[in-house]
Amino acid sequence: MSTAGQVVFNGLSYGATLALIALGLTLVFGILRIVNFAHGVLFMLGAYTTYFVVSSLHAGYVVGVLAAVCASAGFACFLAVVVFRRFTGLLLEGAIAAITLALLLESVALVVFKPVPRDFTGPFQGVVQIFGVHLLGQRLFVIGVTVAVVLALQAFVARSRLGRALRAVQQDPFVARLQGISVDRALLSTFAIGGALAGLAGALVAPMQVLEPTMGESPLLFAFVVVILGGLGSVKGGLYAAVLVGLMTSFISTYWTPEAATWSTFVLALAILAVRPTGLFGHA
């Protein structure tokens, strides 16, 4: 029983990380119709920003997390202005540009950060034991922050003026322009939010893994599975799919092998898409 509880807890923490990355991806696609393959670079940037703030500047971990969110959001806006604003609504062209950009930025990161693994210790290293389940403090922090961010994001999109504007652009950019809504502002806002979520995810997992310039590749791959399973553009679907993938990965890694967890996730994605091509919560 304790083993199953541990697996569930680990799966929820992993799913929470995937949710933050996937929500950024699905927001950008849902509103701007851009498939951002460079999103994993923002995850990596968030992790490295936190590392340097904590290790080099000797600031607190929370300061490092805030710096990571700001750095990733700012860099995402820079990419939006320089590259992606030319590809709004152009799926194929935008995807090719994003892949090229991701490869370029990873190469730059290898030069800047060097292929040297780095790590640091976060402040939430304590362990709470409940019914035989060891709850690592950092994983609890990840889950708690993710829940708070998701609730805040839902409230922002549903109730704020900017959130309503973003939904209007998602439904029909041409009509949104006629209503006086700035599509360029929607572009920057969407990329800023998506970049902030990816940077936050990187900052949250940074104390739990080794940092490398290519560390964003694997989470990005699984985040795309989450986005596809949840339905392109569906925030609610992305959240549920992230939990599903996180739990599935944790259970298969524990009771079978980590390699099996990887290919089983893609088999599940293919099986669901064969029955429902729009994903679990996508619109037919």
Tell me how far apart the alpha carbons of residues 86 and 90 are, in angstroms, rounded to a whole number: 9
Confidence bin at 95 (pLDDT 50/70/90):
confident
Tell me how far apart the alpha carbons of residues 138 and 136 are, in angstroms, rounded to a whole number: 6
Highest mean pLDDT among 73-77, 214-218, 237-241, 278-282: 73-77
Residue 192 has pLDDT above 70, yes or no: yes
**Which tens digits make up the pLDDT trace of 134-151?**
788 899 999 999 999 988
- Which of residues 259 and 117 earns the better pLDDT score? 117
Please state, in angstroms and as integers, the Cα–Cα distance from residue 8 to each residue in 164, 202, 213, following that order.
Answer: 36, 22, 29
What mean pLDDT do residues 91-107 have? 89
Q: What pLDDT, on a 0 to 100 scale, did the predictor assign at position 197? A: 95
Count of domains for the chain: 1
Q: What pLDDT, on a 0 to 100 scale, did the predictor assign at position 284? A: 47
**Which tens digits make up the pLDDT trace of 23-67?**
988 888 877 778 888 999 999 999 999 999 999 898 899 999 999
**Position 239 in a domain:** no
Full residue range of the structural domain in which residue 52 is found? 15-213
Q: Which residues contact 7 (CB under 8 A, 6 or more apart)?
A: 250, 251, 254, 255
> How far does Cα 148 stand from its chain's mean position?
15
Residue 80 has pLDDT above 70, yes or no: yes
**Position 4 in a domain:** no
**Which tens digits make up the pLDDT trace of 170-180?**
777 777 787 77
**Which tens digits make up the pLDDT trace of 160-170?**
888 888 888 87
**Position 264 in a domain:** no
Tell me how far apart the alpha carbons of residues 157 and 99 are, in angstroms, rounded to a whole number: 28
**Position 281 in a domain:** no
**Position 139 in a domain:** yes
Q: What pLDDT, on a 0 to 100 scale, did the predictor assign at position 275? A: 83
**Position 9 in a domain:** no
Q: What pLDDT, on a 0 to 100 scale, did the predictor assign at position 233? A: 66
**Position 98 in a domain:** yes
**Position 221 in a domain:** no
Residue 1 has pLDDT above 60, yes or no: no
